[in-house]
Amino acid sequence: MLWFVRNAPAAAAILAPFPGVQRWMGAIDAMGQGRREEMPPGEALAIARAADPATERRADPGDPNGLAPGARVVVASEDLPQDRVPGEVLALDVDEVVILREDPACGAIALHFPRAGYRFAAA
């Protein structure tokens, strides 16, 4: 979806306030010029296992939920509260909460959740 926004001149300005998204899109472009590349699933998982999340720890001293890096949480969307994602708070700010979790198939993963539409509870 982001490619459609970026490539529509009238809509591209929407991404201006999100430098992290722009950096991510630039990195994807640099890796494969924005094109999909076929690879066996095992190879993709091996690449994921060998990579470390790049998100740095950061705290929000004014967090309304009292969350801080290192706290164990469970995340659920307001639409599908039965789907719960456990993890450890890695970073947070007014717009997002990033949790770190270990996946047996691909290792450490930093999952970014927007504040809007999600609930964060102590685990």
Q: Per residue in 54-67, pLDDT tens?
A: 899 999 998 988 89
pLDDT at 26: 82
Edge-to-edge strand list for the sheet holding 107-114? 107-114, 96-103, 84-92, 72-77, 118-122
Q: How many helices and strands (H and E) does the chain possess?
A: 3, 5
In a domain, 97, yes or no: yes
This prediction's pTM: 0.70
Q: How many residues does the chain have?
A: 123
Residue 20, pLDDT > 80, answer yes
Rounded to an integer, the average pLDDT of 73-98 is 92
Domain assignment of residue 15, yes or no: yes
Q: Is the pLDDT of residue 53 over 80?
A: yes
Within-domain flag for 28: yes
Q: Is residue 31 part of a domain?
A: yes
Q: Which domain holds residue 76?
A: 72-122
Q: Which amino acid is at 86?
A: P
**Considering the domain boundaries, does residue 55 fall inside one?**
no
Contact of 111 with 99, CB cutoff 8 Å = yes
Assess if residue 54 is contained within a domain: no
**Is there a domain that residue 78 lies in?**
yes
In-domain check, residue 85: yes
Work out how many domains the chain is built from and give that number. 2
Per-residue pLDDT, 8: 83
